[in-house]
Amino acid sequence: MVIDVRNLSIEYKIGNDYLEAVHDISFSLTKKESLGFVGESGCGKSTLAYALLNLLEENGRISNGEIIINEKDIVSATNKEIRDIRWKEIAMIFQNAMTALNPVEKIGVQITNALLLHEKISRKQAIERAKDIFNKVGISPSRLMEYPHEFSGGMKQRAVIALALICYPNILLADEPTTALDVVAQRQVLELLVQLKEEFNLTLIMISHDISVVAEACEKVAVMYGGEIMELGNTEDVFKSSNHPYTKSLINSFPSLYQEISELEQIPGYPPSLEDLPKGCPFATRCAYAQEVCFSEKPAMRRVNNDKLVKCHFAEELDFNKRGDSY
């Protein structure tokens, strides 16, 4: 197992209270596997991503669970141990390439500095590695000594990918890697990620609000809502035949390339507030299938068809796929 996350819960201190943003998340991945986390804004995806690198904000803390990366638990690791794991074992493509790069430092310097900080090599060797990684992400090494503002949006995103890969990590964490790019650049960046995953034997964890991005790049998908995983399984199984009403609504709110959909589905209401998380199912107030038990009892994670994990009291009883396959 390259990464094994067990019963992870994360909370933030707001005023005198601790509010839970991520609840009881478990998943594991082996080498070269890919998993995408999808869900609406505020569902806990990015909090989870930052926790995996032990980079939570000062008011955030892991309240329960373990994150085992290559057999080391990073929750109980010392700062020095975490520094050794970051970048070399798990690296992150941060959400916004515009702000992920230092605007007043040449990109090549930023990349070589990251390498020199984590590996015992000479500056000359670091420059050669930076040239090599620039070639791999499709940018001419001659542009290494340029500033971020001299790059287009798509090139900046490639440079951020190069920065994440410079120490050859085992796990690549991509937080909204295509957001803020035009559709052509989005396609190119996605193809590049899939290609680099193969070339570097990467385990890929992707965070996105866009289910089509995850469908394109990941073999597995985890649908998050209210800080919890609602459905987890093989991407094709989840998108073709979901066992959770939220997943199905999310899919039906995106236009399909393969079906005529006259009207996109709108999910009524808003996600629950961290200050007032419901006692029962977090989706109950917006769910068309909710019954009394949904408001009083939290559904447990259960295993259904094709090894999918689903948190819904009626995962096996009701048909949430009445609109057919829109994957």
To ligand SF4, the closest distance from the beta carbon of 25 in angstroms equals: 17
3-class state of residue 125 by DSSP:
helix
To ligand SF4, the closest distance from the beta carbon of 290 in angstroms equals: 4
The closest of 292, 319, 289, 316 to 304, measured between CA atoms, is: 316
For ligand SF4, the closer of residues 165 and 315 by Cβ is 315
Q: Give yes or no for residue 290 binding ligand SF4 (CB under 6 A).
A: yes
Q: What binding mask, one character per residue, do residues 238-277 give for ligand SF4 by CB under 6 A, x or -?
A: -------x--------------------------------
Chosen residue from 5, 165, 284, 309 binding ligand SF4 by CB under 6 A: 284
Q: Is 215:239 a contact under the CB 8 Å cutoff?
A: yes
Q: Give yes or no for residue 281 binding ligand SF4 (CB under 6 A).
A: yes
3-class state of residue 301 by DSSP:
coil
Q: What does the alpha-carbon distance between residue 94 and residue 97 come to, in Å, rounded to a whole number? A: 7
Q: Which two tokens stand for residue 72?
A: 């080391």
To ligand SF4, the closest distance from the beta carbon of 207 in angstroms equals: 22
To ligand SF4, the closest distance from the beta carbon of 295 in angstroms equals: 8
Region near ligand SF4 per CB under 6 A, out of 20-28, 31-39, 194-202, 280-288: 280-288
Region near ligand SF4 per CB under 6 A, out of 41-49, 174-182, 262-270, 289-297: 289-297
Region near ligand SF4 per CB under 6 A, out of 71-79, 90-98, 247-255, 281-289: 281-289
Count the helices and strands in the chain (H runs, E runs).
11, 12
User: For residue 253, what is the DSSP state?
Assistant: T
For ligand SF4, the closer of residues 109 and 318 by Cβ is 318
Q: Give yes or no for residue 283 binding ligand SF4 (CB under 6 A).
A: yes
Helix (H), strand (E), coil (C) string for 172-207: EEEECCCCCCCHHHHHHHHHHHHHHHHHCCCEEEEE
Q: Give yes or no for residue 225 binding ligand SF4 (CB under 6 A).
A: no
Q: Give yes or no for residue 86 binding ligand SF4 (CB under 6 A).
A: no
State which amino acid sits at residue 25: I
Left (φ > 0), alpha (ψ -120 to 50) or beta: where does 148 sit?
alpha
For ligand SF4, the closer of residues 12 and 239 by Cβ is 239
To ligand SF4, the closest distance from the beta carbon of 205 in angstroms equals: 25
Q: Give yes or no for residue 12 binding ligand SF4 (CB under 6 A).
A: no
To ligand SF4, the closest distance from the beta carbon of 284 in angstroms equals: 4
The phi, psi pair for 235, rounded to 5°, reads -55, -45
Q: Give yes or no for residue 137 binding ligand SF4 (CB under 6 A).
A: no
3-class state of residue 281 by DSSP:
coil
Q: Give yes or no for residue 312 binding ligand SF4 (CB under 6 A).
A: yes
- In this structure, are strands 203-208 and 34-38 parallel, antiparallel, or unpaired? parallel
Q: Extract the runs of DSSP E, i.e. beta strands, from the chain.
A: 3-14, 17-29, 34-38, 60-69, 72-73, 90-93, 171-175, 203-208, 220-225, 228-234, 302-304, 308-310
> Which residues contribute to the site for ligand SF4 (CB under 6 A)?
245, 281, 283-284, 287, 289-290, 294, 299, 312-314
